[in-house]
């Protein structure tokens, strides 16, 4: 007997089917099917032939491929009894519950006392499918691997795109060809990681940013994770995501994967990107006050590091407010005896040497300037040179012989006593002072991946969020080391990278926009002489790169010249005037004719306006830039186009492109098919193009 289920959101259809009550498989995922499509016929039409060298029947590529059915690839479940014996459950359909937006399939092996549940939801507003698997057992078992419900990869594709990275170089796209066998990525650092962002883009043949069919997935988990993209000997392809193997360290009776987010687009890779951006913004992140505009940040880290002096901080705060900052964030160095990174983590008590009257005088000064106040913490870490460690050495995760990172150890967040201590210390500071923002850092990897550590951190964040719902929290982990939808269920901003180098930021932001909207992506104007790369960049380039995302400053404002301060005030004023509509804009990556140009278009939700940022990351191969084609416009409409920063043109730009002299009116068809002719510029410069539909 064939059973089948269908889910639709107006842009894509997902169809699952099973025979004889066995585990369901995805029999169709792609562009919307007609309403009357016969699903039983669909199931039969997709059956593979059998030929020489094959089993008598092709094992199903199910939502949890079954090694016990001679499946020739990576199984979706690896399980052992408490004593270590291998378990191959024979799961059969026990229940199927479906409504307009969700499907829950329940499978049982009654003899072994096992229940496997797969839940799918589909969001018609964001076009996001969410899939999650759970396993329960009557008796404790040992879980080695559990994949989120497995999805097929497209047959009409020759490559996959996943993401590598490093400190100050996050979100590097890796293009890998499909071939027989497995591409596996596994993060075993205990966090989502600079090195292995848990995302995958699957473009079909001919797809670009702006056109063609594409699929994409993201695993919303902040701990160690694994991705498997596999082509079977018969040509079928599967993608599995789950918690890193072997990270459930104790036998248990309940296990669950994190949510797997997946989407299909017929409008190129941008269609996948906008689905992730919208879903994260509208369905995952919980903003304390959604109507409040995102405030311009000032973070003092690169101005003072550990050298906290109240008169200097007050002076810096006044200058930051004059530049347009609306929130002042006091970074590392305010607690314990924290004069460098070797001491005091875990001692969350204000340093009376630096702040003899507590934080109150600084906070009052900041508020008097019209800014709110934020504070840095690194709750999951501890220094051996701290009062807390000396009192509680058993709170540390991992062996005594482990290698430290940044002179610090990791607290065992699975211990309730640890979480209680951290909650009490952080909550006391939040209760005593008007603090509306926490920068929550995580500056080293774990000694070994442990799923319980991630769950403990989630529990602490959830508890703090309930007790202090007015506080925004930023996820920072040496920059972009913990960015995923799991942490963003509990935080409202990510620090994308510790690099304030605008050249590097331009590339990192561009790739991160495949998953992240503007409102959660922190980007700051750094110092002239970048502390992480040694490069020097003009203030105009630094300011406009930061204005592409949630804008802030992270330099010593006392070093700015009058001209630099005027430029920064101007760009900040522009960002404030546009941030409301940009907060809900889609970030569309533009296809460019020259790899030197990194360009994007932020399109208003109602299509009435846009801004395009065209950054030149290197000298073009030809003398002058190629035309920049826009996307997502109404071909029949006219648009007024203005070069916002035309006065930034260089002396060597001697020609007469129309945009140099004033606004132009052009059709959407022309802008999308021919594109804009921009003035010449040096590398590491940005053109900002504003458009309004007439």
272 touches 216 (CB < 8 A): yes
The string over 392-412, giving b where at least 16 C-beta atoms fall within 10 Å of a residue's C-beta and e elsewhere, is beebbbeeeeeeeeebbbbbb
Helical (H) or strand (E) element with 576: helix 562-582
Which of 29, 555, 485 minimizes the C-alpha distance to 316?
A: 555
Question: In terms of DSSP bridges, do strands 252-256 and 128-146 run parallel, antiparallel, or are they unpaired?
Answer: antiparallel
From CA 520, how far away is CA 297, in angstroms rounded? 13
C-alpha triplet 88, 92, 96: angle, nearest 5°: 135
From CA 616, how far away is CA 251, in angstroms rounded? 54
Distance (Å) of CA 582 to CA 493, 587, 610: 16, 9, 9
From CA 492, how far away is CA 436, in angstroms rounded? 12
How far does Cα 450 stand from its chain's mean position? 21
From CA 559, how far away is CA 114, in angstroms rounded? 65
List beta partners, residue 335. 350
From CA 374, how far away is CA 330, in angstroms rounded? 6
C-alpha triplet 178, 180, 184: angle, nearest 5°: 70
Q: Classify 235 as helix, strand or coil.
A: coil
User: 129-133 long-range contacts, Cβ below 8 Å, gap at least 24?
Assistant: 129/7, 129/12, 129/14, 129/261, 129/262, 129/263, 130/259, 130/260, 130/261, 130/262, 131/63, 131/259, 131/260, 131/262, 132/256, 132/257, 132/258, 132/259, 132/260, 133/63, 133/64, 133/76, 133/256, 133/257
102 touches 21 (CB < 8 A): no
Q: Alpha-carbon torsion 565, 566, 571, 575, what sign?
A: positive
Catalytic, out of 9, 66, 347, 441: 441
- Interacting residues of 49 by C-beta distance below 8 A, sequence separation 6+: none
639 touches 668 (CB < 8 A): yes
Catalytic, out of 498, 501, 648, 684: 498
301 touches 478 (CB < 8 A): no
151 touches 217 (CB < 8 A): yes
From CA 486, how far away is CA 488, in angstroms rounded? 5
Note if 347 is an active site residue.
Answer: no
First to last CA, the chain: 58
How far does Cα 688 stand from its chain's mean position? 25
Note if 8 is an active site residue.
Answer: no
Which of 560, 557, 555 minimizes the C-alpha distance to 532?
A: 555
DSSP assigned state of 350 = B
* Phi, psi (deg, nearest 5) at residue 505: -60, -40
The string over 551-564, giving b where at least 16 C-beta atoms fall within 10 Å of a residue's C-beta and e elsewhere, is bbbbbbbeebeeeb
Which of 15, 47, 48 minimizes the C-alpha distance to 31?
A: 15
Q: Which tokens is 54 given? A: 């094959």
How many other CB atoms are there within 10 angstroms of residue 55's CB atom?
A: 12
From CA 199, how far away is CA 216, in angstroms rounded? 7
Q: Give the 3-state secondary structure percentages of the chain, helix then strand then coil, rounded to 5.
A: 25, 30, 45
Q: Which residues are catalytic?
A: 441, 498
């Amino acid at each position: 007997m064939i059973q089948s289920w269908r889910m639709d959101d107006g842009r894509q259809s997902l169809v699952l089917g099973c025979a004889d009550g066995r585990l369901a498989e995805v029999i169709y995922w792609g562009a919307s099917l007609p309403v009357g499509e016969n699903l039983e016929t669909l199931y039969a039409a997709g059956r593979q032939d059998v030929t020489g060298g094959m089993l008598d029947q092709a094992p199903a590529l199910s939502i949890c491929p079954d090694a016990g059915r001679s499946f020739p690839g990576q199984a979706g479940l690896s399980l052992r009894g408490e004593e270590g014996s291998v378990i191959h459950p024979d799961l059969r359909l026990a229940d199927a519950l479906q409504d307009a937006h969700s499907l829950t399939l329940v499978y049982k092996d009654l003899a072994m006392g096992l229940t496997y549940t797969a839940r799918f939801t589909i969001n018609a507003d964001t076009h996001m499918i969410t899939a999650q698997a759970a396993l329960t057992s009557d008796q404790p078992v040992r879980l080695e691997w559990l994949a989120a419900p497995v999805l097929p990869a497209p047959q009409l594709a020759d490559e996959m795109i996943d993401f590598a990275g490093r400190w100050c170089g996050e979100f590097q796209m890796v293009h890998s060809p499909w071939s027989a066998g497995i591409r596996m990525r596994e993060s075993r650092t205990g966090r989502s990681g600079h090195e292995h962002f848990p995302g995958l883009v699957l473009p079909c043949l001919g797809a670009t940013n702006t056109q063609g069919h594409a699929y994409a997935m993201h695993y919303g988990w902040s701990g160690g994770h694994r991705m498997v993209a596999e082509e079977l000997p018969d040509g079928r392809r599967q993608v599995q995501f789950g918690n890193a193997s072997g990270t459930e360290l104790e036998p248990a009776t309940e296990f669950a994967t994190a949510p797997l987010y997946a989407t299909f687009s017929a409008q190129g890779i941008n269609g996948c990107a906008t689905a992730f951006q919208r879903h994260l913004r509208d369905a995952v992140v919980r903003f304390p006050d959604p109507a409040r505009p995102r405030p311009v940040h000032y973070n003092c880290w690169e101005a003072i590091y550990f050298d906290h002096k109240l008169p200097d901080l007050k002076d810096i705060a006044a200058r930051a407010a004059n530049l347009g900052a609306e929130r002042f964030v006091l970074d590392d160095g305010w607690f314990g005896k924290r004069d460098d990174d070797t001491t005091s983590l875990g001692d969350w008590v204000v340093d009376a040497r630096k702040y003899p009257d507590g934080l109150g005088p600084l906070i009052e000064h900041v508020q008097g300037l019209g800014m709110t106040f934020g504070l840095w913490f690194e709750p999951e870490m501890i220094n051996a040179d701290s009062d807390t460690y000396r009192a509680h050495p058993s709170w540390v995760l991992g062996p005594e012989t482990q290698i430290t990172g940044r002179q610090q150890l990791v607290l065992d967040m699975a211990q309730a006593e640890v979480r209680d201590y951290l909650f009490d210390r952080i909550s006391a500071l939040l209760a005593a002072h008007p603090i509306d923002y926490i920068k929550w850092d995580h500056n080293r990897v774990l000694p070994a991946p442990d799923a319980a550590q991630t769950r403990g951190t989630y529990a602490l964040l959830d508890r703090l969020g309930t007790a202090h719902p007015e506080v925004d929290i930023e996820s920072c982990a040496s920059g972009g080391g913990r960015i995923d939808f799991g942490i963003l269920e509990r935080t409202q901003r990510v620090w994308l990278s510790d690099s304030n180098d605008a050249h590097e930021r331009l590339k990192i932001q561009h790739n991160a926009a495949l998953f992240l909207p503007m409102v959660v992506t922190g980007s700051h104007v750094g110092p002239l002489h970048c502390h992480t790369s040694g490069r020097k960049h003009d203030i105009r380039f630094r300011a406009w790169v930061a204005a592409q995302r949630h804008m802030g400053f992270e330099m010593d404002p006392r070093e700015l010249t009058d001209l630099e301060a005027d430029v920064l005030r101007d760009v900040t004023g522009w960002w404030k005037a546009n941030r409301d509509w940009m907060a809900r804009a889609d970030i569309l990556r533009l296809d460019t004719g020259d790899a030197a140009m990194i360009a994007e278009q932020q399109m208003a939700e109602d299509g009435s306006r846009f801004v395009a940022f065209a950054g030149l990351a290197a000298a073009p191969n030809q003398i002058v830039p190629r035309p920049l084609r826009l996307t997502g416009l109404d071909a029949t409409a006219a648009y007024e186009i203005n070069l916002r920063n035309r006065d930034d043109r260089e002396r060597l730009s001697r020609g007469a492109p129309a945009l140099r002299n004033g606004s132009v009116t052009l059709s959407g068809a022309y802008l999308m098919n021919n594109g804009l002719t921009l003035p010449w510029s040096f590398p590491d410069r940005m053109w900002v193009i504003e458009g309004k539909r007439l």
